[in-house]
Every structure is written in C-alpha cells, then in structure tokens.
Structure 1
C-alpha cells in the first residue's frame, strides 16, 4: 500500500469514531506496524489534520473535519464507476476489492450532488463469461511481473496437450471474456500468450529474470503489431 493511500485510510478509520482508536487497532487494520502508525499520525498532524491523542492512549479525529471534495465532472464519475464495474468481469478478487475501495473513497469525497452517480448509476455492466482461473492467482501474477520473477506453469493448450513451461511474465492482458499472461517462454524461446483458465498449476519461482522489463514490454508490443 502506498503511503498516501495509508494516510487517507487512517483518516477514514478515525472518521465518526467517538472513542479513541489505538495505534494497535489501526496497525492491524492496515497490516503495518504500530511504529508506522505513529509516524503516519505525526505526519497528518503536521499537515494540520485535527487528530487528537497520543501513543498508548489512542487517536480521535476532531468533529467537523472533512476532506475537501474532489472536483469531478459527471462524466468523469461515470467513467470511474464503469471502469470499476468492468473489473468484476475479469474474475480477479483482489482487483475487485480494490475497485470497490475506490468507489467507497469516492463516495466519501465527491460533492453530494454527484454521489447518486455512484450509488445509483444509470447504466448496467454485465457479468460476462470470463472463467475464474483455478490453477493460478492473478494477484501472484501481478506481483511476479512487478518483481521480475519467473513462473513455472503446467499448461493445457487448445489441442488438450499438456506442457510444463517456465515463463518470464511481462503483462496481464485483459480482453472482454478472457485474461492472458504475456510472457517470454523459455521452452519456445519466444513471446507467447497463456490463457489463465488453461493454467492447471503454477509456482512463482525465487529465480528472477534480469532483462529490462520495460524493454521486454516494448518487444512484446512490437510482436503484437506484426
């Protein structure tokens, strides 16, 4: 979690609480140490956020404080809402949780006249037909991409042929009803796409690939253009 997000979440956690909330409770909720909470609260206080209290006692947010409203147009709010709803189609639980968190934060911060666009949007997004992968966690894939870690997979292709491969993941590719992993395949010595619903088993390896990941992204994009 980015520190800016954590600072926002601390304010949200304290909002409306009549009794002091201890650093330990905040730390457990945000999955950080109490020392981190102490530093973050001190930072917020230095930024003139009216948080009262002290270590060992707990913290409260002075009544009457509110975050300034975010300035969005109706179309911008609808665009964000549509995007968040579309995330549900890719069957990625962690991204779905993140999308719902975005909508919750917006609901707390946009002007009152725009809140109905979030709570009662005038559109419908179908659930789609994407199959939720069982052999691999998409969160693990995204983490492997960020840390340049190799993945060993057992893959079933269109002809029902099973192979074991070690891949260097470059990107997750989201289509309307299927999610792919774009990767360099050590077996084929080339860039390949792997449908996540056809991955039967996966292991994130400690071994990393040292190639420039941004350069690999450019190379992969070039193969798509050909």
Structure 2
C-alpha cells in the first residue's frame, strides 16, 4: 500500500475507533510493522493532523476532525451500496476488504441503505492458506504491466507452465478470469483463477505494449458489455 493511502487509512481507522488504538493494533490492521506505524503517526502529526497518543494507552483522533463530505443523491447511494455488496461475489479478498472500508467511509456521512440486500454467493474466496492464488496479485500484474509466470491446470487436468502478459480481469458470478497474451501459445488466452496452482510476478515489464495488446484483446473478444463510465 502506498504511504499516502496508508496515512489516509490510519485517519479512517482512528475516526471509526471507539477506544484508543495501540501501535500494534494499527500495524495488524495495516499489515505493516510497528516502526512503520510510528513513522506514519509522526508524519500525520507533522501535517497537523490531530492524532494524540499516550504510552501504554494508544492513539486517538481528536474530535471535530473530519474530511469533506461525499455528495451523492439517494439513487447514487443505493447504487454504491449494491455495487460494493456485489464485490462479495468475486472471491477477491482484497477487493472485498477495500469495499468494506469504502462502505464505512460512506456510512460515516450518509444514512445506511441496509434495506438493500445482495446475496453473497459467487466465486470461491481466494484464500492463500487454502493454496489459492490471491486475485490482488493478478490485479497488481495487470495494473503494473508486469509479466506473470503461471502454473495452470486446464479442464482436462493437464498442467502447464507459461509466461503471460496479463491484460484484464473478468468477474463472472461463479469464477474470475485472467485475460492475457500467452507467450507459450502466441495468442490471447483466458485463465480461471480457481485453476491456478501458482502465479509469480516477474521483473519484466511490457508497459509499452500493454495499451495496444489490451485494445486488440477487447476487439478480438468483443467485450463490449464491460461497463465504462
């Protein structure tokens, strides 16, 4: 997580806290070291963010500090509520956690729309403890235009190792697909995340070719239904 995002997240965690939070509590939530938390708190205090702390007690955000409110009308709020809830169907654990954080930020300044319910069933969770490849790693590969070494089992049980240029993720109800240019086959291919045995980020970048490849992929696969605001 970039430092600027982490500082923002610390503010949000402290705003929502009902009691002082220790450095180790913040470190656990942010998945960083206590030393990093100490540095971040110092940076926030240097920017005159009213974070107060006491040894052995923890940190609090002084009352009255807030961020500019979000201005959405009723239907926009309901769209956000349903859209964020539907992320529970993707199996993408990191996106689900991000959706929960966004929901908390929104309900801090707007009334909840909890009367709109979305069934959570969908793709299986990408739990690394169960041997699953985290979808967040695949998104990072697409976002950073870095090649990916993939160990994959096809529908017939055949295992292959290949290098991909990852181009996009497609979230279906029952599974998530990674689209990319496969160097083994010399063409565009789609891979179910639940059939991946391993996916390792490589140092090789294809940033210069990514826009052209993504354009060709969308034209070839005719992904016209993809929502584009």
Segments of 5+ residues of structure 1 without an aligned counterpart are: none
What CA deviation, in whole Å up to 9, does each residue of 1:155-180 have, x standing for no partner? 213x4444332222111111232211
* Equivalent residue runs for 1:1-226 within 5 Å: 1-15=1-15, 26=26, 29-30=29-30, 31=32, 33=36, 34-43=38-47, 45=48, 49-52=49-52, 60-108=60-108, 110-111=109-110, 114-115=111-112, 117=113, 120-122=114-116, 124-132=117-125, 135-147=132-144, 148-157=146-155, 159-199=156-196, 201-210=197-206, 212=208, 213-225=210-222
* TM-score (structure 2 length as normaliser): 0.75
State the distance in 2 between where 1:177 and 1:58 align: 43
Segments of 5+ residues of structure 2 without an aligned counterpart are: 224-229
Q: Which has the larger radius of gyration?
A: 1
Alpha-carbon RMSD: 3.2
State the distance in 2 between where 1:182 and 1:55 align: 50
* TM-score (structure 1 length as normaliser): 0.76
What CA deviation, in whole Å up to 9, does each residue of 1:130-185 have, x standing for no partner? 3446552212211222331322222213x444433222211111123221110111
Q: Secondary structure at the match of 1:214?
A: helix
